[in-house]
């Protein structure tokens, strides 16, 4: 049992999906896994282990923002021996081509946060996805329309009042979310494998957002890419 996850040793699989929303973790467990076992409900941040196509997988909520995700990912890697982790979440689209409902495979995750610099003492580390997982996700999605591969940025502020989005657009960043940077950074330091797969739920420039039907359908697409990737990657 760790500080924020009440699982016993061995209750969490080596391969895990990480939605931000604990209710999405429950939804994935109920809709995709068999022989499901809930191993934690500390702070209502649910985690489940079950079987998918004969393989043992877990799904764990991480909460919103870099610090919250960092707590769960540190404990999953260091105390439960998780080896491969795929974040599944939503993001704000930045470019014209990143439309509502599109899926993004996040090759890199920059940030406006200071969270890595306090460890690297000012050096700009470039957090990136595990190539094998990225390749497996590409293979799982290459015939689907509207899948993009590229950089995202994990921002500290959801309600950002600055011109940060314009700077990111100048660099071709596909979307903004709030967690991938620390998943990749902690995975690098602990020598684990990580990927982030995102659905564009709203658009930062046009202010469009997803209706509830397309939200569910595109979440299905993202979860299915992530599950296939975890099995193959």
Q: Which residues are near ligand HPA by CB under 6 A?
A: 90-92, 155, 158, 176-178, 201-202, 204
Q: Do residues 66 and 50 lie in contact, with contact meaning Cβ atoms separated by under 8 Å? A: no
Which tokens go with 35? 């022989």
Beta carbon nearer to ligand HPA, 75 or 179:
179
Nearest distance from C-beta of residue 206 to ligand HPA, angstroms: 12
CB nearest ligand HPA: which residue? 92
Task: Determine whether 202 is an active site residue.
Answer: yes
Please report the DSSP string for 137-203 in residue order: HHHHHTTSSSEEEEEEEE-S-SS--SSHHHHHHHTT--EEESSHHHHHHHHHHHT-EEEEEEEEEEE
State the catalytic residue, choosing from 21, 156, 202, 211: 202
- Nearest Cα neighbor of 81 from 133, 25, 13, 17 is 13
Q: Do residues 198 and 175 lie in contact, with contact meaning Cβ atoms separated by under 8 Å? A: yes
Nearest distance from C-beta of residue 113 to ligand HPA, angstroms: 12
Beta carbon nearer to ligand HPA, 94 or 147:
94
Beta carbon nearer to ligand HPA, 116 or 199:
199
Nearest distance from C-beta of residue 176 to ligand HPA, angstroms: 4
Instruction: Cite the active site residues.
Output: 202
């Amino acid at each position: 049992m760790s500080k924020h996850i009440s699982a016993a040793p061995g209750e969490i699989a080596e391969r895990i999906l990480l939605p931000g929303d604990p209710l999405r973790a429950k939804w994935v467990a109920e809709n995709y896994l068999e022989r499901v076992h809930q191993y934690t409900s500390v702070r209502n941040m649910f985690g489940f282990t079950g079987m998918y196509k004969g393989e043992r997988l877990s799904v764990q909520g991480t909460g919103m923002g870099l610090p919250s995700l960092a707590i769960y990912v540190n404990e999953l890697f260091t105390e439960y021996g998780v080896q491969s982790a795929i974040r599944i979440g939503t993001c704000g689209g930045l470019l014209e081509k990143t439309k509502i409902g599109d899926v993004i495979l996040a090759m890199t995750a920059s940030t406006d946060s200071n969270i890595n610099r306090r460890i690297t003492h000012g050096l700009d580390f470039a957090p990136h996805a595990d190539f094998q997982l990225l390749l497996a996700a590409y293979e799982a999605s290459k015939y689907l329309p509207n899948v993009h591969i590229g950089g995202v940025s994990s921002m500290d502020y959801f309600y950002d009042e600055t011109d940060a989005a314009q700077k990111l657009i100048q660099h071709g960043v596909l979307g903004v979310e709030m967690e991938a940077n620390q998943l990749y950074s902690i995975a690098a330091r602990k020598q684990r494998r990580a990927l982030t797969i995102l659905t564009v739920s709203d658009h930062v420039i046009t202010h469009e957002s997803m209706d509830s039907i397309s939200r569910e359908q595109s979440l299905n697409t993202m979860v299915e890419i992530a599950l296939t990737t975890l099995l193959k990657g």
